[in-house]
A and B are shown apart, each in its own frame.
Chain A
Amino acid sequence: MGTEWVAVGLSRDLPAGVAMPALWQGRELAVWRSASGKLSAWNDRCPHRGMRLSHGFVRGETLACIYHGWVYGTSGSCIHIPAHPDLVPPATIKAETFLCVEAGGVIWVGAAGATDTPPEFAGYVPLRSVATQADAAALAQASGLEQAAQGLLGSTAAGGVCLILSTSQTKTTIHALAAKEADRVALSRWLDGVVRRAEERVLA
Chain B
Amino acid sequence: MIPQAVLDEWYPVGMAAQVGPPPGRETMLLGQPITLFRDSAGIRVTGPDGDLAVTVAYGHVWACLGTPAHALFPIPEATQEGRRLVDCGVVRVKCSPLRAVENFLDIAHFPFVHTDILGAEPHTEVARYEVQIREDSDEVWATKVHFYQPQAAKSAEGGIVTEYMYRVPAPTASVLYKTCPARAGEWDVIGIFVQPLTEELCDVWPWMALFDDETPMADLIQFQQMIFLQDRSILENQIPRLLPLDPGMEIPTQADLTSVAYRRWLKRKGLTYGAQMVAA
Q: Which of A1-54 contact B (CB under 8 A)?
A: 28, 44-45, 47-52
Residues of A within 8 A of B109 (CB): 67-68
Q: Are A82's CB and B251's CB within 8 A?
A: no
Residues of B within 8 A of A49 (CB): 238, 250
| Nearest CB in chain B: distance from A118 CB, A | 27
Can you name 10 extra interface pairs (CB under 8 A) apart from A82-B111, A82-B125? A49-B238, A50-B250, A52-B237, A55-B233, A55-B237, A82-B108, A82-B124, A84-B126, A84-B254, A87-B253
Any A CB within 8 A of the CB of B240: yes
CA–CA, A47 to B240, complex, Å?
11
Residues of B within 8 A of A65 (CB): 112
Q: Are A83's CB and B126's CB within 8 A?
A: yes
How many chain A residues touch B (CB < 8 A): the figure is 23
Any A CB within 8 A of the CB of B75: no
Any A CB within 8 A of the CB of B160: no
Across the interface, name the chain A residue whose C-beta is closest to B236: A52
Residues of A within 8 A of B252 (CB): 48
Q: Are B121's CB and A82's CB within 8 A?
A: yes
Of A45, A67, A92, which one neighbours B234 at CB under 8 angstroms?
A67
CA–CA, A24 to B234, complex, Å?
23
Q: Are A66's CB and B240's CB within 8 A?
A: no
Q: Are A45's CB and B239's CB within 8 A?
A: yes
Q: Which of B215-268 contact A (CB under 8 A)?
A: 233-234, 237-240, 244, 249-255
Any A CB within 8 A of the CB of B28: no
1/0 per position for B70-112, CB-CB distance to A under 8 A?
A: 0000000000000000000000000000000000001011011
Question: Which A residues lie at the B interface, using CB under 8 A?
Answer: 28, 44-45, 47-52, 55, 65-69, 81-85, 87, 92-93
Q: Is the interface of B mostly helix, strand, loop or mixed?
A: loop
Across the interface, name the chain A residue whose C-beta is closest to B259: A49
Q: Is the interface of A mostly helix, strand, loop or mixed?
A: loop
Interface centre among A28, A55, A83 (most CB of B within 10 A): A83
Any A CB within 8 A of the CB of B113: yes
Asked if A69 meets B250 with Cβ closer than 8 Å, knowing A45-B239, A55-B237, A84-B255, the reply is: no
Residues of B within 8 A of A92 (CB): 251
Of B112, B125, B239, B249, which one neighbours A68 at CB under 8 angstroms?
B112
Asked if A51 meets B112 with Cβ closer than 8 Å, knowing A84-B254, A85-B125, the reply is: no
Q: Are B251's CB and A66's CB within 8 A?
A: no
| Nearest CB in chain B: distance from A87 CB, A | 8
Residues of A within 8 A of B238 (CB): 49-52
Q: Are A83's CB and B240's CB within 8 A?
A: no
Of B108, B113, B251, which one neighbours A83 at CB under 8 angstroms?
B108
CA–CA, A86 to B254, complex, Å?
13
Q: Are B239's CB and A66's CB within 8 A?
A: no
